[in-house]
Amino acid sequence: MKNNEINQNFFIREGEKKDREDIIKLTENIPSVAQFSRGPLFFKKPFIDYLLADDLVSKVVIFESTSGRIAGFAAAIRNPLKFYLRLGLRHPLRVGLIMFFRKAKIFFANFIKKKNISINKVFSEPVWSKSTDKIARVVFIGVAGEFRERGLATELYLFLAKILKKKGCIKIEAHIDGNNPLSLKLHQKTGWKIKKMPEGDYKAALELNNL
């Protein structure tokens, strides 16, 4: 796969199966922001394997030129319903577990804080567009702590958008946690349309037509 130079310190390219271990390490060091990083390792690793293997998933990695270390990773799924169905057909229990851990974590976090438990937040997803090959959903974007604030997440999104557009995508969607101001800033800066959801999180959409 071709490496593209961002500047003299970093390269960007599409993610490949050989990046597996580095991506696992990177996601371990980033607080839970994506579905697969909210669960225990025994299903996080297979989930990353599916992400890297499935052609419905577009993935991008940035690595440091000198060390070869992965500094950032982003992935988006076209037709998520089809992707999760494929995943479920291979390992039905794991899909159930992903959903279970996500919902249980939010439920207990709210319970412990003695906040009003929002049934919306526990049981509903943000409103996504119809699941088709033309619309992609971000499943992960993250940059390792020491490489942040250098425009790398911006580069990840730019490259991801280009790849998706080549595959015929017209739009990318993302879910932003209401408690993640850095993610909100990143999406605002990179031109996403952002809508606040009733439960406090945000849904973001980036049209690819004008890219």
Ligand X SMILES: CC(C)(COP(=O)(O)OP(=O)(O)OC[C@H]1O[C@@H](n2cnc3c(N)ncnc32)[C@H](O)[C@@H]1OP(=O)(O)O)[C@@H](O)C(=O)NCCC(=O)NCCS
Task: Indicate the residue type of 65.
Answer: S
The answer to the question of residue 141 lying near ligand X (CB under 6 A) is: yes
**What's the closest the beta carbon of residue 83 comes to ligand X, in angstroms?**
18
Contact residue for ligand X among 12, 56, 143, 169 (CB under 6 A): 143
On whether the CB atoms of residues 109 and 48 are closer than 8 A, the answer is no
Q: Does 185 bind ligand X (CB under 6 A)?
A: yes
Binding mask 25-64 for ligand X (x = CB under 6 A): -----x--x-------------------------------
What residue type is assigned to position 69 of the chain?
R
> DSSP class of residue 40?
-
Helix axes 181-189, 152-166, angle to 10 degrees: 60
Distances (CA, A) of 38 to 103, 106, 127, 136: 10, 10, 21, 21
Q: Which residue is nearest to ligand X (CB)?
A: 153
Angle 92-112/80-90 helices, nearest 10 degrees?
110
Part of the chain binding ligand X (CB under 6 A), chosen from 20-28, 78-86, 160-168, 182-190: 182-190
Residue among 14, 151, 165, 205 that touches ligand X (CB under 6 A): 151
Binding site for ligand X (CB under 6 A): 30, 33, 141-143, 148-154, 174, 176, 180, 182-183, 185-186, 189
